[in-house]
Structure 1
């Protein structure tokens, strides 16, 4: 049986958090909110506990996990060295939605790292998550608290839908603030490299340390046989039950094309979902239209993206058409997740 508790995100009940911490220390699984998405956590130093994450999610074991810590000094226990740029990044972005990859120390069980000699670590800013890790006194391995391949959970109801009965406890701490997973930056090379975009943008990192690369895999379908160094690099992710297509081009042409495609699918007897924005929603007269956010405030799109994909599942649509978005700032994270949800199925209109 899964115990479900509700906590005030600003002032959580420490007694209940201690109960969750004991579950982690005893080798159990706890789903909890972070500022990005909900995570399913286990004691990183207990291989048997970590293995339960893969079983609960149906997650391939070659997909590495992120270790979550609560204190800066903890980082030095689990990695071999911390380069100067990483220290600057910690000072600027921790606690927060940034994950960094280092060469791991021997204390980190290889089940967390898919057998590689590198480990991904972050320090969450969500008070519930941070307090839980701190009270447990251990690093917590925590991928997103969803069934593998499904849209990541940004509300407790999403976790309950996917994992009730598969974990020992679910902590309801309200809606997540960022809505997409953390930015993952590989710090082991000469120049730091973004392997997964997120709430800490490329532009923010450049401002902090002067230079960062973006791995080409962020922009395209991963090749067969890829050995992922970070979560979310290899497998199809974030997908609703429906087929998802992204329509790219001039926004006026995009809305017109989506209307044509919707009409075509409706005539075939299909139920169609349209992922629209505040600026375009009134242009669509048919289909199940859901507003994902405001184009002038892309952070609203990031925050609502996974929830909207899950809403389309609730509505039982067969096909989803989404407008494309820009690749600058947090738009890179939005498009990275959306393209994975679509399995890279795109309709590109000529300018």
Structure 2
């Protein structure tokens, strides 16, 4: 249980230029004062994150947005009204006080209001927006519990606010209002708010088919969210385990698999085939398999609709060699 004193101590650390890990509804974040370039540099250093990969800024409520964003288009305001607080990040033109290190030198930045009481209390107590990527080493599996964070950083990160498992389990959806060539908003990363729900509110959203050579938001690199164990994304898990009968092969299945022979370990994301449950379980299941000393992990695809789009995005990036 996170106490008021825990939040006060974490807020003091943020104001003093330090780092803390904190829970959100999506994954645990590694937070620094988003307006302090020196503090944000520590985030990149601790994560071993390249500085060309921008961060998401977090605010406690939409009233803080005008201090950070230069302009907020009408469609962005509609999404804010419907989905904030929530797992939706918007890419907007930034005000000059947002340091370039947060945005990787871009004139735009990603921002969201998390749907998590502890997160918003921390932001209010600190009195500053938080630049907060996932609290893990760069490119590795995202953390959905405080234990995952501690396993990664240990004593390097003395304050970890532990509020149990994350409710959603995959990162926020990112929609840009500055990248599109035809004026339409662009989906840069699928996540906790589905494309279908977004389009119900503002109509068609552009979905790019190519990966940008320079990220304009987090989560756009071709390899990300990856276990140390090689991961293969395939619907034909039986064929793969049969062809690698001398190896220890793990299986990550959407539902209970019909074929289980030959697998050293099996993780089922959702017995009932629920995409929301599968999203919650995704990173934790990947971590458990990764800890078993397997030679290969085979991940079966999930239906690529609604939250399945975010799950498949993470699996594809985890599987890129």
Relative to the length of structure 2, the TM-score reads: 0.95
Match of 2:187 in 1: 194
Match of 1:259 in 2: 238
> Which one of the candidate residues 246, 263, 286 is aligned to 1:309?
286
Match of 2:201 in 1: 208
1-structure distance, mates of 2:196, 2:132: 27
Question: Is contact 1:274-1:321 (8 Å) kept?
Answer: yes
Matched, 1:70 2:70: no
Question: Is contact 1:186-1:194 (8 Å) kept?
Answer: yes
2-structure distance, mates of 1:54, 1:68: 17
Match of 1:285 in 2: 261
Match of 2:18 in 1: 28
1-structure distance, mates of 2:290, 2:220: 24
Offset from partner CA, 1:152-194 (integer Å, 9 cap, x none): 0001111001112222311111000111000000012411111
Relative to the length of structure 1, the TM-score reads: 0.87
What RMSD in Å do the two structures reach over aligned CA positions?
Answer: 1.3
5+ unaligned residues in a row in structure 2: which ranges?
none
Question: Is contact 2:61-2:85 (8 Å) kept?
Answer: no
The equivalences for 1:322-337 within 5 A come to: 322-337=299-314
Matched, 1:14 2:4: yes
Matched, 1:125 2:101: no
Question: Is contact 1:295-1:301 (8 Å) kept?
Answer: no
Match of 1:272 in 2: 249
Question: Is contact 2:254-2:301 (8 Å) kept?
Answer: no
Match of 2:32 in 1: 42
2-structure distance, mates of 1:47, 1:167: 19
Q: How far did residue 61 of structure 1 move?
A: 0.4
Match of 1:158 in 2: 148
Match of 1:228 in 2: 215
2-structure distance, mates of 1:104, 1:128: 26
> Which one of the candidate residues 80, 101, 112 is aligned to 1:111?
101
Offset from partner CA, 1:248-270 (integer Å, 9 cap, x none): 3xxxxx3xxx2232133232xx2
Match of 1:134 in 2: 124
Question: Is contact 1:277-1:295 (8 Å) kept?
Answer: no
Match of 2:133 in 1: 143
Offset from partner CA, 1:21-77 (integer Å, 9 cap, x none): 000000000001100000000000110100000011000000000000002111001
2-structure distance, mates of 1:206, 1:237: 27
Moved over 4 A (4+): none
2-structure distance, mates of 1:235, 1:120: 19
2-structure distance, mates of 1:265, 1:195: 36
Q: How far did residue 210 of structure 1 move?
A: 1.7
SS at match of 2:175: strand
